[in-house]
Amino acid sequence: MDGFRLFPQYLTPEAQTCLVDDLRQRLAQSPLYQPVTPGRKPMSVRMTNLGALGWCTDTTGYRYQPLHPLTAQPWPDIPTCLMKLWADLADSAVPPDACLVNVYGPEARMGLHQDRDEADFRFPVVSVSLGDTGIFRIGGLKRNDPTQSIRLASGDVCILSGRARLAYHGIDRILAGSSRIWPGGGRVNLTLRRAAPFV
Ligand code: MD3
Ligand code: FE
């Protein structure tokens, strides 16, 4: 898929540990919760957000919003190391305003979907994986296009831009116990995005 770039082990073990600490502090303020889809199905992935805007779903639909749905507080800030990562790899002029935090237990998965809730698809999405390896699947612009399967391990970073930005993708399964970096085990995926238009 052109527009998909994988940077295996972009984050050193030290950088990963530092990011885990940054996240644990912020998750204490902005708890993970189990989102529900507009089709009323609870997702198996737990979520929270960082940044000015957070991606949320409930029975009324998908949207970006400035407040945590349970605490009604603003989302915590995006850690400096992630702001720098975006500036280095994605766009040095326009910063991300949203960082979705997905946490996968051993049984969690994410079905094939497109990310279309952002205002301007010219901005890429940057994904950072931590903890257990995830089996990621990416296809084309149509749901039934052929797909390929890629392992995303702790410290891997990928960028989705151009045609890949609107590709169908999902997480088939988690290789439980493949990393010890996330306390209690599991996989964490951080997606940095520009949700609002840049005027
Ligand atoms: C391909 N997250 O949060 S990250 C999501 O591992 C999401 O939690 C997955 O799909 C996860 O929406 C996959 C890699 C990724 C992120 C965004 C994409 C792949 C993408 C946007 C367009 C195409
Ligand atoms: Fe997605």
The atom of ligand 1 lying closest to the CA of 166 is 22
Q: How many domains does the chain have?
A: 1
pLDDT of residue 127: 98
Parts of the chain with a pLDDT under 50:
none
- Helix (H/G/I), strand (E/B), else coil: 172: strand
Tokens found for residue 177: 């116990």
For residue 79, being part of any structural domain is answered with yes
pLDDT of residue 166: 98
Whether the CB of 189 sits within 6 Å of ligand 1: yes
- Give 150's strand partners: 136
For residue 199, being part of any structural domain is answered with no
pLDDT in tens, 18-28: 999 999 999 99
- The overall longest dimension of the chain from CA atoms, in Å, is 44
d(CA 96, CA 123): 9
Tokens found for residue 124: 């890429």
Whether the CB of 76 sits within 6 Å of ligand 1: no
pLDDT of residue 192: 99
Residue range of the domain that includes 147: 4-193
Q: Is the CB of residue 131 less than 8 Å from the CB of residue 186? A: yes
For residue 189, being part of any structural domain is answered with yes
123: CB partners within 8 A, 6+ apart:
90, 91, 94, 193, 194, 198
Q: Which CATH number goes with the domain that contains 167?
A: 2.60.120.590
For residue 81, being part of any structural domain is answered with yes
For residue 198, being part of any structural domain is answered with no
What order do you get walking across the sheet with 148-152 strand by strand? Answer: 110-113, 169-175, 133-138, 148-152
Whether the CB of 137 sits within 6 Å of ligand 1: no
pLDDT of residue 25: 98
- Helix (H/G/I), strand (E/B), else coil: 159: strand
Ligand nearest to the CA of 191: 1
d(CA 100, CA 56): 9
For residue 166, being part of any structural domain is answered with yes
Whether the CB of 165 sits within 6 Å of ligand 1: yes
Tokens found for residue 192: 């940095």
For the chain, the straight-line distance linking the first and the last C-alpha, in angstroms and rounded, comes to 30
For residue 25, being part of any structural domain is answered with yes
pLDDT of residue 1: 79
d(CA 140, CA 2): 10
- Helix (H/G/I), strand (E/B), else coil: 10: coil
pLDDT in tens, 130-143: 999 999 999 999 99
For residue 140, being part of any structural domain is answered with yes
199 Cα: distance to centroid of ligand 2 (angstroms) = 25
- Give 98's strand partners: 53, 193
